């Protein structure tokens, strides 16, 4: 499904690096990213999660807003909130939740935001799918979330396979 979101929206190169501490949390849908943040955040911490922003903008519960209608605006608001981190004091803490299936995308965010930590939630595909099936908030969008889980794992596997092939090619070259 085309959500009319540009590459510049997805990866805003214009962001000013934050002054505060940023923790980057990546993982597949249903992997437990939000649960991880809820467990580790402290009162006063900033949490930036496009799913929550979309729900906020739509004025609806989580996962109910029309993604086709709200995603572009939610990503613009996410970027505005990320930019606002540049004005936060150095001791402020922010948590940024993003899917980032490709390790290069996760690394891009880590460098761009000068993150304090990177947490990749490594929940197995079958567990992510089971969590989505059991989550009543996702009942109406289950097919979309299942497709997103499969996309996330397939993209991750492609990225690792490509990295392994490069490493093997480089290893053969060094044997000369």
Q: Does residue 1 surpass a pLDDT of 70?
A: no
CA 89 to chain centre: 24
**Residue 163 within any structural domain of the chain:** yes
Q: What's the whole-number mean pLDDT along residues 69-97?
A: 96
Q: pLDDT per residue over 15-35, tens digit each?
A: 999 999 999 999 999 999 999
**Residue 1 within any structural domain of the chain:** no
Which range marks the domain in which residue 132 is found? 7-174
Q: What's the whole-number mean pLDDT along residues 51-79?
A: 92
How many CA atoms lie less than 13 Å away from 43 in the CB half-sphere?
Answer: 0
**Residue 2 within any structural domain of the chain:** no
Q: What's the whole-number mean pLDDT along residues 137-160?
A: 92
We report the CATH number of the domain holding residue 57 as: 3.40.50.300
pLDDT value, residue 5: 82
Question: How many structural domains compose the chain?
Answer: 1
For residue 10, what pLDDT band results from cuts at 50, 70 and 90? Answer: confident
pTM of the predicted model over 0.85: yes
């Amino acid at each position: 499904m085309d959500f009319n979101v540009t590459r510049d929206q997805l990866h805003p190169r214009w962001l000013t690096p934050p002054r505060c501490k940023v923790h980057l949390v990546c993982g597949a849908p249903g992997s437990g990213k939000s649960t991880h943040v809820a467990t580790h955040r402290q009162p006063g911490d900033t949490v930036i999660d496009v799913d929550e922003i979309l729900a906020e903008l739509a004025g609806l519960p989580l996962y109910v807003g029309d993604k086709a209608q709200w995603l572009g605006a939610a990503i613009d608001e996410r970027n505005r909130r990320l930019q606002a981190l540049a004005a936060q004091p150095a001791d402020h803490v922010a948590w940024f939740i993003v899917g980032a299936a490709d390790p290069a995308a996760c690394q891009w965010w880590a460098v761009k935001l000068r993150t304090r930590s990177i947490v990749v939630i490594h929940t197995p595909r079958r567990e992510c799918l089971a969590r989505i099936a059991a989550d009543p908030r996702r009942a109406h969008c289950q097919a979309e979330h299942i497709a997103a889980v499969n996309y996330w794992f397939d993209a991750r596997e492609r990225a690792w396979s490509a990295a392994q092939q490069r490493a093997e090619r480089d290893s053969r070259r060094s044997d000369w």
